[in-house]
C-alpha cells in the first residue's frame, strides 16, 4: 500500500430516510358505498449502516464520499397495502474504525469485528394508516399518521490500525527499513527524518506458513503527546497493537534515555499503553564490532528493564531471532 493510498481520517454527512405517510383511504367498490377504512401503513425510512470488513485496511474508498443518503419510505395505499421500506445504505469500513460525532467529538461506537453492523442514522418509522384508528364510535376515521422524520448527522471516521506489533522509535531509527526487510511492504526509505508520514503495514511470513502483522508508525519526538511533530495523528495507531517493539539505533548517545522518552510519551498520551508487552531492538548493530557490542551489552543488562536484542536490517543480522521472540510473545 503506497503512502498516498493510506487514508485514516474521513468526515462525512449521513442522512437516513423519512418514514412514509399512512393512508387515510376509505374502501369503495361496486355495491359497497361505505366499506370503512382500509388505509395501509407507510414504509420505514432507510437506515445508514456501518459494516466491518476485514479485507479493508484504509478509508480510501470513502475519501470522496462526503454525503451518504438512505432512501425514503413509500406512502401507504388503499386496501391496506403497506408502503415499501426505504433502501438501506451500507458503508463498509475496516476493522478498528472509531465513529465520532463531529460536533461534540464524542465516540458513538467502533467497529472491531468482521460483518459487524451498527446503525449510524436510523430511518423514520412509517405512519399508521386509518385502518388502525377505527373504533365502535368512529367507524370511518379520515386521518392517518404522518411518517417520522429522518435523522441527519455529521460524523468523523478514525481508523486505528489493527496490527500485532507496532514499531516505536524516534525519526530515522530504521523502522521502515526493518519493515521492508521482514515483510513484503515497500515503505519510503530515506536518510532524513519523518520520511514516514503515515503508518505502513506489513505481514511477516513466519515458520509453517504462519503470519503476523507489523505496523510502522511515524517517528515520535518529545512532546508528541501534546501534538508536537505528527502528534496525535499517529499515536492512536499504537493503541491497538499487542506488542510494542522499540527500535533504538546502536549509535544513539544514550539508549536508556531514548527508551525512557519514548515510553513517557506513550504514558502521557494513554497510560493503558504501558500494559502492553514491550521489547527493545538495538538497530544498526552492524556498525559495532564484537568488543563494542560486548561493552554495550554489559551496560544495557544493568540499565534496561525489559528484554532487548541486537539487529541489523541491512546486514540481515538478528532478524530470525527477532521473529522468534515476537511470535513467542504473541502466542503467550
Looking at residue 170, its pLDDT comes to: 83
- Per-residue DSSP letter, 11: E
Give the integer Cα–Cα distance in Å for 92 and 57: 11
Give the integer Cα–Cα distance in Å for 312 and 284: 5
- Per-residue DSSP letter, 156: E
Give the integer Cα–Cα distance in Å for 30 and 231: 76
- Chosen domain end from 127, 159, 191: 159
Instruction: Assign 174 a pLDDT band (cuts: 50, 70, 90).
Output: confident
pTM score of the predicted model: 0.69
- Chosen domain end from 159, 175, 203: 159
Instruction: Assign 86 a pLDDT band (cuts: 50, 70, 90).
Output: very high
Domain check: are 150 and 230 in the same one?
no
Identify the weakest region by mean pLDDT among 30-39, 113-122, 185-194: 185-194
Instruction: Assign 184 a pLDDT band (cuts: 50, 70, 90).
Output: low
Is-contact 93 155, C-beta < 8 A?
no
Residue 45 CB burial class (10 angstroms; 0-12, 13-18, ≥19): buried
Residue 6 has pLDDT above 60, yes or no: yes
Domain check: are 79 and 21 in the same one?
yes
Domain containing residue 28: 1-159
Which residues make beta-bridge pairs with 214? 165, 202
Give the integer Cα–Cα distance in Å for 276 and 291: 33
> Average of pLDDT values for 108-133?
94
Amino acid at each position: 500500500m503506497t503512502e498516498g493510498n493510506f487514508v485514516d481520517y474521513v468526515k462525512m454527512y449521513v442522512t437516513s430516510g423519512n418514514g412514509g405517510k399512512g393512508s387515510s383511504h376509505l374502501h369503495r367498490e361496486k355495491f359497497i358505498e361505505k366499506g370503512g377504512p382500509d388505509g395501509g401503513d407507510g414504509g420505514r425510512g432507510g437506515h445508514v449502516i456501518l459494516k466491518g470488513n476485514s479485507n479493508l485496511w484504509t478509508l480510501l474508498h470513502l475519501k470522496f464520499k462526503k454525503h451518504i443518503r438512505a432512501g425514503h419510505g413509500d406512502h401507504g395505499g388503499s386496501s391496506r397495502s403497506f408502503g415499501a421500506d426505504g433502501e438501506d445504505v451500507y458503508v463498509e469500513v475496516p476493522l478498528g474504525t472509531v465513529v465520532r460525532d463531529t460536533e461534540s467529538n464524542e465516540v458513538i461506537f467502533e467497529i472491531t469485528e468482521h460483518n459487524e453492523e451498527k446503525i449510524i442514522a436510523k430511518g423514520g418509522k412509517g405512519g399508521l394508516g386509518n385502518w388502525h384508528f377505527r373504533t365502535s364510535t368512529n367507524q370511518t376515521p379520515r386521518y392517518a399518521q404522518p411518517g417520522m422524520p429522518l435523522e441527519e448527522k455529521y460524523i468523523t471516521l478514525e481508523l486505528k490500525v489493527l496490527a500485532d506489533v507496532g514499531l516505536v522509535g524516534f525519526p530515522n531509527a530504521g523502522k521502515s527499513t526493518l519493515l521492508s526487510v521482514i515483510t513484503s511492504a515497500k515503505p519510503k526509505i530515506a536518510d532524513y527524518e519523518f520520511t514516514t508520514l503515515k503508518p505502513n503495514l506489513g505481514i511477516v511470513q513466519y515458520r509453517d506458513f504462519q503470519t503476523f502483522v507489523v505496523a510502522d508508525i511515524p517517528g515520535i519526538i518529545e512532546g508528541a503527546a501534546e501534538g508536537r511533530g505528527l502528534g496525535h495523528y499517529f499515536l492512536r495507531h499504537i493503541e491497538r497493537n499487542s506488542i510494542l517493539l522499540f527500535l533504538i539505533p546502536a549509535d544513539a548517545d544514550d539508549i536508556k534515555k531514548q527508551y525512557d522518552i519514548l515510553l513517557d510519551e506513550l504514558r502521557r498520551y494513554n497510560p493503558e499503553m504501558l500494559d502492553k508487552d514491550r521489547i527493545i531492538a538495538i538497530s544498526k548493530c552492524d556498525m559495532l564490532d564484537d568488543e563494542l557490542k560486548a561493552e554495550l551489552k554489559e551496560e544495557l543488562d544493568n540499565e534496561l528493564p525489559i528484554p532487548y536484542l541486537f539487529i541489523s536490517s541491512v546486514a540481515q543480522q538478528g532478524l530470525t531471532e527477532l521473529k522468534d521472540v515476537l511470535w513467542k510473545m504473541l502466542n503467550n
